[in-house]
Amino acid sequence: MSAPGTVMRVRKTLRGVGKTFIAAGTLILLFVAYQLWGTGIAEAHSQQVLKKQFQAEVAPAPPPITTPTTVDSGPTTTLAPLVPPPTGDAVAIIDIPKIGVDSAVVQGVGVSDLQKGPGHYPDSPMPGQVGNAAIAGHRTTYGAPFYDLNELQPGDHIYITTKDSPRPWNYEVMSSHSVDPSDVSVLNPTTTAMLTLTTCTPRFSASQRLVVVSKLIGAVDPRPFVPPPAAPSSSSTAEAFGAPDVGLSGQGTSTLPAILWGLACALIWGLAWVVGHRWRRWTTYAIATPVFLLVLFFFFRNFASFVPADV
């Protein structure tokens, strides 16, 4: 083989490798942009749906149940247990004036739940009830509802409106501190009405958890809380708190949608390359690029579940 031929082959190979690295780098940058801004688009849409659902289901508090007993003692008035909504439904509106939070809270703390907004731990009491009501939220992605959670100080107020509460429940911040992701003791039950907010810290990292603890001011919801049998404490707590083997790390999520969307991206790009070399290249790319980016958006949306979550 002649020297000029060898040089040409080397140049062609290097050019191909260079294009591959450029394409890979571009995809990585696009994925980072999706994580920081694109996820907010999906979260904003989910918030609109949740708030409409919440407003449609707001109703007066249920009347007490009167159970007759003996003639001597007379009737006894009891309250029906508070039945939690299904996972994925709107459960409350959280309002934190100091940091500009006004978000619908979804029932559940799984990957898909927290992509919609702050999530209520299903095995914790509802806001307003006696016990440790707990809510988790993303810090830098999916609308970043808890981006400035670190700014809350003792004495600040958090207001939570539930579907049948006559007025927002008023919580006063008591403390704010960081713990290891495996330290789920901050979610332990309490004998008083408390609220615990959790998110990742520092920003753009999932190395620790920021925990803000508040106490309820005023009367409590007297209705008893009955944990859902399908959401055992150990499972849901570990999932939302970002334990290494479950939940927010994305493990346990189906891989099929991400694979299918990835194959669709490859197919569109391959067809554009073939048609572009046989027809008008730039016209072909101009037509294919918007379609490719749309499909790429859905691929990123499914692929993001397998990336360690920055809550």
pLDDT digits (tens, 9 = 90+) for 97-140: 999 999 999 999 988 899 999 999 998 999 999 999 999 999 98
How much is the average pLDDT of 266-286?
Answer: 87
Q: What is the pTM of this model?
A: 0.76
Dist CA 267 CA 174 (whole Å): 55
pLDDT at 230 (0 to 100)? 57
Dist CA 188 CA 71 (whole Å): 42
SS3 215: strand
Residue owning tokens 């007066």: 60
> Six-digit token pair at 202?
């520092």
How much is the average pLDDT of 40-59?
Answer: 90
132-161: pLDDT as tens digits: 999 999 998 899 999 999 999 999 999 999
pLDDT at 301 (0 to 100)? 80
Q: Is beta strand 131-136 parallel, antiparallel or unpaired with respect to 193-201?
A: parallel
Give the rounded percent of residues in the chain with a pLDDT score beyond 70.
Answer: 82
Strand partners, 214: 173, 195
Residue owning tokens 């003792």: 154
